[in-house]
A and B are shown apart, each in its own frame.
Chain A
Amino acid sequence: MSADLLEVENYSGSFRSKSGQLAPVLHQVSFRLRTHAITAVVGETGSGKSLVALSTLGIQPPSFVRTSGRILFRGIDLLTLDEPGLRAVRGGQISMVFQDARAALNPVFTVGRQLADVWQLRHRGSRSAAMRQAIEALRRVSIPEPERRARQYPHAFSGGMAQRAMIAMAALVCEPALLILDEPTTGLDVTIQAEIMDLIVDLTRTQGLTTWLITHDLGVVAEYCEDVVVMNSGRVVETGSSEAIFTTPRDVYTRRLLSASQLAEPA
C-alpha cells in the first residue's frame, strides 16, 4: 500500500452566483493524507477546509463548480465518479462525522436502530444481529449502559454522547479506510472535547483508520495530530508535521494563527 491514502492535487473551484458569475473559493489546493496518520486541516471559517472534504464525498453544494484538480483515493479520482460510484465509496470506504451530531441523528428513530440500519446496509444480516453490532459499537465508544442507550431517541442524548454515537457509526459500523471529522469537538465542553479526541486517536490506532480532522482548534492539533495542513482563504499556505508547524512556522498566516491561539511563546 502506498504511503498516501488520499491526495488532493491542484483542486480549484468557484461558486457560481445566480447571475452566472464565478467567485473563486479554492485555489490550487494540494495536500496528502498519510495512511494511518491523523492529519489536521486547520484554518478559519470560510477558508474552504470543509468544502474540500465535502467534495471528497461528492456532496459539495450544487452551486460549486470545479475548475481544475483531482482528488485521488487509492488512485481513483473521486471527482470523476458518478452517483453509483460515489455510493460505493461513501460509508464503506470514506465516512464522515459532522460537527453537530445531534442534528445528524434522525430524531424519529432510536440511536440503536440507526446504527443497526447502517450495519445492515453494509453487511446485510438479520435485524437482531445488526442490533447486537450496534450495541457493541456503542460499548466500544464508552457509552455507558449501551443496551439501554440503544433504545433511546437522539433527544435523550447529550451533545458529547451523540458525537460518540456518530463516531461509532462512522468509524466502527461503516468500517471505512478514511474517516473525516468536520469539527467534531466544536460546541462541546473542554473535558468532553478531550475525551472525544482520545477516542478518535484510539480508534485510528485500533481500526487502522486514516483520519482527516477538520478543526480550528490548534490546541487539539498540537496534542493529537501528526500532520497539519494550514488553509487560508482557499489556499493551502503550509503543510508539514505537527512538530514542524508549531516550532518553526514558515508562513505568516500560520504564525498569526499560532499567536492568536496563545500556544506559541510570545515573541
Chain B
Amino acid sequence: MRIGIALVCIYTGIAVLSFFWTPYDPLSPGVGDGYDPPSSTFLLGTDRLGSDMVSRLMAGARYDLGITVIAVSIALSAGTTIGVIAGYFGGVLDTVVLRLVEVFQAFPGLLFAMLVVQAVGPGIVNVILVLSFVGIPDYLRLARAEIHARRDWQYAEAARMVGNRPWRVAFRHLLPNSAGPLLAFTSINAAFVALITASLGFLGLGLSPNTPEWGSMIARGQDGVMTGQWWVSFFPGLAILGLTGAFYLLGDALSDLTDPRRR
C-alpha cells in the first residue's frame, strides 16, 4: 500500500528530474557506439543508434506518466460529472447517455484508440484526448450507478430536507461517498491507460519516431532481443511493469484513505 505511493512518487521524481538533468541527451544518437552493454559509462547500455538508455528511460517517464495522468484526470472529471448528473436526475438524459456509452464500449479500448489516433493524426495532445475519451464511459457508468443507488438514501433525503439544492446534494453530499470506488477504479484505469500509451508507442502510432516513450523503445530494441542485446527492450518493459504495478497498489491505498471506517 505504501509501496504504491512510494513508487508513483519515484516515477514522478524521475520525470521531473529529466527536465533538468539526464546523464546524456536522450534524443541524440551516437553518444555511444550502438548496442553498448551495461557498463559504468552507460549504466543500462545504449540502443541501436547509440543513445544512452538511462537518459531515454528518464525522459520516457514524463511521456508515459504525463500522458497517463493527464488522460486519466480528464476522463475522471468528465466521466464523473456526466455520470453524477445522469444518475441523480435520471429520466431521458440518463437513458440517452447510457445508450451512447454502450455504443462506444462495443469497441475494445486499444482498437478504438488506434482507429481514432489514425483518424485525427499524430501529436501528443491528440493521444491524450483519445486516451481520455476511451476512459470516459467507464467513469460515467460507475459514477452513474453509485449516485443512482444512493439518491434515495436517507442522508440524501436529509440533505434535501434542510434546503440544499439538487446539484449540491448530488456533488457535495453523494459524490464524496463514492470516492472510494471511483478512486480504486481510477488506479486500475491508470494502469490500463499506461499500457495503451505504451502499446500505441510500440505500434508507432501517435508520437514522433524518436520520442523516448517506453513502448516505442521496446519496439526499437526488438531486433536486439534476437541477437543478444536484451537490455534495449528489457528495461523499458520493466519501467512499464513498474508503473502499472504502482498504479494498482496506489488504488488500494486511496480507497482505504477515503473510507472513514478504515482510516
Contact = CB atoms under 8 A, between A and B. Distances in A.
Interface of A: 57, 59, 87-88, 90-92, 95-96, 98, 100, 103-109, 118, 121-122, 153, 155, 166, 169-170, 174
A230 to B, nearest CB: 26
Contacts of A118: 162
Contacts of B177: 106-108
Contact of B176 (A91, A95, A108): A108
Contact of B164 (A59, A107, A121, A170): A121
B12 interface: no
- Give the most central of B155, B164, B259: most A CB within 10 Å: B155
A59 B160 contact: yes
Nearest to A153: B260
B159 interface: yes
Contact of B173 (A92, A106, A153): A106
A119 B165 CA distance: 15
B260 A169 contact: no
A90 B162 contact: yes
B160 to A, nearest CB: 7
Contact of B157 (A87, A104, A108): A104
B154 A91 contact: no
Interface string B154-189: 110111111111000000010011010000000000
A164 B161 CA distance: 17
A87 B165 contact: yes
Contacts of B158: 98, 104-105, 166
Contacts of B260: 107-108, 153, 155
B258 interface: yes
Nearest to B156: A106
Nearest to B164: A121
Majority SS at the chain B contact face: helix
- Give the most central of A88, A105, A107, A166: most B CB within 10 Å: A107
Contact of B261 (A96, A104, A155): A155
Contacts of A92: 163
Given A108-B260, A109-B176, A153-B260, A103 B155 contact: yes
B21 interface: no
B163 A104 contact: no
B24 interface: no
Contacts of B258: 108
A52 to B, nearest CB: 16
Contacts of A104: 154-155, 157-158
Closest 4 pairs (CB-CB, A-B)? A91-B162, A91-B163, A153-B260, A103-B154
B155 A174 contact: no
5 contacts: A87-B163, A90-B162, A103-B155, A121-B163, A170-B162
Contacts of B165: 87
Contact of A90 (B163, B173, B176, B179): B163
A98 B160 contact: no
Contacts of A121: 162-164
B161 A57 contact: yes
A106 B155 contact: yes
Given A153-B260, A155-B260, A106 B159 contact: yes
Nearest to A83: B166
Given A106-B173, A108-B176, A122-B163, 14 more contacts: A59-B157, A59-B160, A91-B162, A92-B163, A103-B155, A104-B155, A104-B158, A106-B176, A106-B177, A107-B177, A107-B261, A108-B179, A170-B162, A174-B162
